[in-house]
Amino acid sequence: MHYISTRGQTERKTFSDILLMGLAPDGGLMLPEEYPVVSETMLANWRNLSYKNLAFEIISLFATDIPAEDLHNIISRTYTEETFGTPDITPVRTLSDGIKIQALSNGPTLAFKDMAMQFLGNMFEYVLNKQNKQLNILGATSGDTGSAAEYALRGKKGVNVFMLSPEGKMSAFQRAQMFSLQDENIVNIAVKGMFDDCQDIVKAVQNDHSFKEKYHIGTVNSINWGRIVAQVVYYFAGYFRATENNRQEVSFCVPSGNFGNVCAGHIAKQMGLPIKRLIVATNENDVLDQFFKTGEYRPRNTEHTYVTSSPSMDISKASNFERFICDLMERDSSEVASLWAEVGTGKGFNLAFRLPEIREQYGFVSGKSLHRDRLATIKQVFETDGELIDPHTADGVKVAREVRLPDETIICLETALAAKFDETIREAVGDVAIPRPAKLAGLEDLPQRVQVVPNNADVVKMIIREKLDN
């Protein structure tokens, strides 16, 4: 399998090539020339596989340049009961009203990002060793990507991590998870601004081709294809857990900011997984909800991005959205480049005339949830089911309930554990005991290491130079 850029000006690449790449040289995102198609026989054979064996079957369709034995070894080391706390890896449970939740937060940082990042950490080490290369990761996080990346890459040979986060915008738990790491290859940088500012700095550095080449800059942000392909796996796993046979359809409700998680669902659907609808749940930063309701995509500048109680979705420029639009435009790269030129000017674009196709062929529908909605949902689920869900998952449950059709099976993808957002949980349900894994007791009291910088790409480049030139 080979990969091409959404903007059509990059030569075909292999999986190993794009794993270390980040943005394509032409500013686009890499995606397969075509998606593999899963037959009824394959679905039947996969239904009862363990998670790691299912992951091998799916990822091997995309990583065709990695020898099967090596790939199997990497995946076997990644998806273990020891790392994810359960042999099922992503068990599915059902709330009393019939909405299902797929647990994706059993990894080391208690967030769904671990599902892909643990794989990526092992994959990076393997490819770098094979190619005798060094990689310096520059990433941006609104809360969970940073800690998941740092825990996956800490101490890994040949890798440094420079992680940007918006100063003061994450929960105390999220900050402590990242800033308490003392590993030499981890550098935390808090930017005075919003997540979108951090993301813009990453893109600015990626687009400085001489700097990127000299310092071997890569990314683990959700634009990284290795992350997307690992996320495709849990859609299949969730489907098999929630159904009895492969004639049944399910819908997935996905809390969304950067469109990476739901993009993996879109790919699973294109491959032939029986997905009825992909429900995009946003918070107050509802740029994606606006698109799926009206066809207008109008990214906002950071002054108009709200700081909310579901901070991992406080995003107004959905980095992965370009991959879906490329599919929608039937891989017309010049059209995609033209649309993103409009995004670059701040105007955005309007595809209202494609809404029937977006809904019927691709199955997209959306909704939004506000602070009061997530508090009410957390409280209601606690009272009826005796469990605490995090604010992002609550956004998903609220929207799923709102748009559910008669007899529709909806699986909400869990974003994180409630322990990461104790302030909001207590606002919703009062002063209750919030379960936390024993190994994370006292996390916020550990010494923290972080550099606070202005919103300036040149300052970030200077930090990278100082670290790598010494």
Pairing between β-strand 217-218 and β-strand 250-255 as defined by DSSP bridges:
unpaired
Give the number of C-alpha atoms closer than 13 A to the C-alpha of residue 54, restricted to the C-beta side.
Answer: 25
From CA 139, how far away is CA 152, in angstroms rounded? 13
From CA 346, how far away is CA 304, in angstroms rounded? 13
In 3D space, the residue among 183, 181, 126, 189 whose CA is nearest the CA of residue 158 turns out to be 126
The answer to whether 317 is a known catalytic residue is: no
Active-site choice (13, 52, 100, 113):
113
* Residue 187 contacts residue 258 (beta carbons within 8 Å): no
Q: Which amino acids are annotated catalytic? A: 113
